[in-house]
Amino acid sequence: MTIDNATKELVRSRANYLCEYCHSWERISASRFTVDHVRPKSLAGSDDGNNLALACRRCNERRYNFVTAIDPQTQSEVPIFNPREQIWSEHFTWSQDGKTIIGTTQEGRATCERLDLNDERYPVDDSIRSARGFWVIAGLHPPATDPRESP
């Protein structure tokens, strides 16, 4: 089943137009973000709104249909971050310069690794960290709050 436009807009507004994994802003992206199935359809996930999250193309492509990843610190296999059940700031924080996402829990670290949230396989100048640096200079990053923490 195709997700209708009303549901897509609900997902986008609920996320405050942020990728629910890397917290990039859709409004400063060159393309619209995708509606991601938290539990992939290939693993019996549904199109229900409680299973949908807003994801930038980078995160959506890297997440693919993975629901677990290895925490690089403990080497344990753990679930990746679930934006429908977890609060971003309880699993991640920003580096002081606002360019790097730091996983603070097993799930956060594993998600950083699985989704390569900081493009650590590339030189800084060729990575999302470079773009985040420009966004910081422009006063557009990092986002002030997690959408689920808003009153």
Tell me the per-residue pLDDT of 123-145, one tens digit each, with 9 for 90 and over: 767 789 999 999 999 999 998 75
Read off φ and ψ for residue 84, nearest 5 degrees: -85, -25
pLDDT in tens, 33-87: 999 999 999 999 999 999 999 999 999 999 999 999 999 999 999 999 999 999 9
Q: Domain range for residue 93?
A: 5-140
Q: Does residue 96 belong to any structural domain of this protein?
A: yes
Domain membership flag for residue 52? yes
Top pLDDT among 28 and 71 is at 71
pLDDT at 150: 42
Any domain includes 36: yes
Looking at the domain assignment, is residue 148 inside a domain?
Answer: no
Residue 16 in domain: yes
Q: Is residue 12 part of a domain?
A: yes
pLDDT at 145: 59
Q: Does residue 129 lie in a domain region?
A: yes
Residue 146 lies in a domain: no
